[in-house]
Amino acid sequence: MLRIMGVLFTDDIPEPRDVVLICLVDACKILARILSRSEYAEAEERIEQVRQMDLIGQSVSRAIQKMTLDEEPEQRRVASKALPPRAPGLPLVGNALSMMGDIRSFLTKQYLQLGPIFSVQALDRTFIVLAGPEANLFLARQGKTHLRSRELWMDFTAELGATRLVIGMDGGEHFRLRRALKRGYSRSYITSHLATTIDIAQREIAEWPLNVPLAGLYSLQRIITEQLGVLCTNTSPREYLDDLIPFFNSLLLSRLTHHRPRLFMYTPRLRRARKRVHALYEHILAVHETSPGNGREPDLIDDLLDLHHNDPQFMPETDLIGAALGPFIAGLDTSAGVSAFTLYALLKHPELLAPTKAEADALFAAGIPTSATLHKLDVIPRVAMEALRMYPIAPALRRTVSNSFEFAGYRIPAGTHVIIATTVPHHLPEYFPNPERFDIDRYTAERREHKQPGVYAPFGLGPHRCLGNGFAEVQIAMTLATILHKTELQLEPPNYELKVRQAPLPKVDKSFKFRLLQRR
């Protein structure tokens, strides 16, 4: 598919096999389904040029088109049910209050009562919810054809000062930008920078005072954000962190989840934070005014600027800010949030803390870990995987239907707002026995509960599956391994029970604290 997109959106001369393939997929209307209307209109002339290059391709097109025309009347006769069942709610507000709280638990309850498809109402908006393994498999296999994310992120993107973000793009342009950013967000990239990743964690840990309650999430945000800044942008964001956190948190609340009014972004505090965030962006660009070299390795920003210089129409200067700040948007509430949930689980379960410490010590026994020794980790990754199952930071995904489809006997028309409840299966006992129990043995070779089709989706599914999930897995594992190797920690207070803040994304509450008992 990458090769085909290259033919359609560049002037590359196609190989004979690609000519036939393009004729085939276009005749089957596959291109019209996976590309947006504007993208297909842009490529239509090129498709016609390719079609004229080969007589076989022309014959294939005519034959498929005739078959399609013959079959369409029969397909139109397929019947579907009228409307999905509606989740019970309150007058006027509907299900808004439940959705503002623990949305995963709410959607799981409705799934058990109503089945894999139902509707919910939040004030004046209605959503169709797809839930369960069937919904996840649909998203993974057909999401690209039938769903888009543009509408969800439009306000967020505009408030940031851009016109597009990779997370809010669809079709061919989304595919192209993901490809350009892939190296900088990859597992191999962070694996080649393990020494820097560990050094940053160690320097932050060295600043923790002894026997003083420390804010759990903030302590990890300092580590994770610094790692992302240095590795992805060659810039330390440390002096900007206290502005990054409220700015992006408020931006999500007011422009994505709508838990806050639009004017919320214009308080004096957030106006100052906005200026500081833009100052960080300008600083990142200044660092990259010169090409890589002279002690500076190429990073994510270099890849982004290469794309801008080579094709300024596709990646204009106005859209650089969103992509350049992407690592911080991703890391503050995701990697740091998962790390905090995982650290809580370790401190809460002493039976897990001992083997994870032993594994961390073994990892560092021969010095700084390498990519080879990293693969030996077993317990720490399984703890993180279980934290992601029990405390997913993205419990559901919102999309708009771009092309109508049928699901579970119901026809969902284009333009419908849908919610894919991707993490509902995480708490279904038929897939994860005793789902409320923190059990890292679910991920052993003998049990492999997470490998059942469509049941484990902590990083999303489909074309918008988290681009940096491999990067995040290594970052979280190495950060936790470093903490375990260097410290003795204790929950504060020792009997603390986890509280979760649900908005804008689930995260540990500010009440989660720990105490550094001693350095190791």
Task: Evaluate whether residue 235 is within a structural domain.
Answer: yes
Cα angle value 391/396/400 (rounded, 5°): 165
- In the numeric block, which tokens belong to residue 363? 């990892």
The answer on 188 and 52 residing in a single domain is no
Quick one: pLDDT band at residue 313, thresholds 50, 70, 90?
very high
Dihedral Cα 352, 356, 358, 364, nearest 10 deg: -170
- In the numeric block, which tokens belong to residue 448? 């492999």
17: phi then psi, degrees, rounded to nearest 5:
-65, -35
Task: Evaluate whether residue 380 is within a structural domain.
Answer: yes
Q: Which of 76, 100, 127 is the last residue of a domain?
A: 76
**E-assigned strand segments in 337-486:** 397-401, 405-407, 410-412, 417-421
Dihedral Cα 420, 425, 427, 428, nearest 10 deg: 130
The answer on 165 and 42 residing in a single domain is no
Contact call for residues 315 and 308 (beta carbons, < 8 A): yes
3-state secondary structure of 451: helix
Task: Evaluate whether residue 45 is within a structural domain.
Answer: yes
The answer on 501 and 377 residing in a single domain is yes
Task: Evaluate whether residue 23 is within a structural domain.
Answer: yes
The answer on 66 and 203 residing in a single domain is no
Contact call for residues 460 and 466 (beta carbons, < 8 A): yes
Distance between CA atoms of 160 and 162, rounded to whole angstroms? 6
pLDDT for 2-43, tens place per residue?
566 666 666 666 676 677 777 776 777 776 766 666 566 666
Q: In residues, how long is the chain?
A: 520
Task: Evaluate whether residue 93 is within a structural domain.
Answer: no
The answer on 222 and 328 residing in a single domain is yes
Residue-level pLDDT at 25: 67
Task: Evaluate whether residue 18 is within a structural domain.
Answer: yes
pLDDT for 102-139, tens place per residue?
999 999 999 999 999 999 999 989 999 999 999 999 99
Distance between CA atoms of 295 and 518, rounded to whole angstroms? 36
Containing 483, the helix (H) or strand (E) segment is helix 469-486
Is the torsion defined by CA of 231, 232, 233, 239 positive or negative?
negative
Task: Evaluate whether residue 181 is within a structural domain.
Answer: yes
The answer on 188 and 68 residing in a single domain is no
491: phi then psi, degrees, rounded to nearest 5:
-60, 150
CATH of the domain at 220: 1.10.630.10
Cα angle value 302/305/309 (rounded, 5°): 135
The answer on 422 and 299 residing in a single domain is yes
The answer on 342 and 203 residing in a single domain is yes
DSSP state of 183: G
The answer on 184 and 36 residing in a single domain is no
List the beta bridge partners of residue 489: 516
The answer on 65 and 168 residing in a single domain is no
Distance between CA atoms of 257 and 241, rounded to whole angstroms? 22
Whole-model pTM?
0.83
- In the numeric block, which tokens belong to residue 493? 């207070």
pLDDT for 362-421, tens place per residue?
999 989 998 888 988 999 999 999 999 999 999 999 999 999 999 999 999 999 999 999
Contact call for residues 490 and 484 (beta carbons, < 8 A): no
pLDDT for 157-215, tens place per residue?
999 999 999 999 999 999 999 999 999 999 999 999 999 999 999 999 999 999 999 99
Contact call for residues 37 and 173 (beta carbons, < 8 A): no
Contact call for residues 424 and 111 (beta carbons, < 8 A): yes
Quick one: pLDDT band at residue 308, thresholds 50, 70, 90?
very high
Q: Shortest CA distance to 103 belongs to which of 129, 72, 76? A: 129
The answer on 415 and 278 residing in a single domain is yes
Whether the pLDDT of residue 88 is over 70: the answer is: yes
**Total count of domains within the chain:** 2
Domain that holds residue 257: 160-519
Q: Which of 45, 76, 107 is the last residue of a domain?
A: 76
The answer on 183 and 52 residing in a single domain is no
The structure tokens 């002493």 sit at 350
Distance between CA atoms of 415 and 403, rounded to whole angstroms? 8
Secondary structure in 3-state letters for 371-385: HHHHCCCCHHHHHHH
Secondary structure in 3-state letters for 235-301: CCCHHHHHHHHHHHHHHHHHHCCCCCCHHHHHCHHHHHHHHHHHHHHHHHHHHCCCCCECCECCCHH
Task: Evaluate whether residue 10 is within a structural domain.
Answer: yes
Distance between CA atoms of 8 and 4, rounded to whole angstroms? 6
Cα end-to-end span (Å), the chain: 51
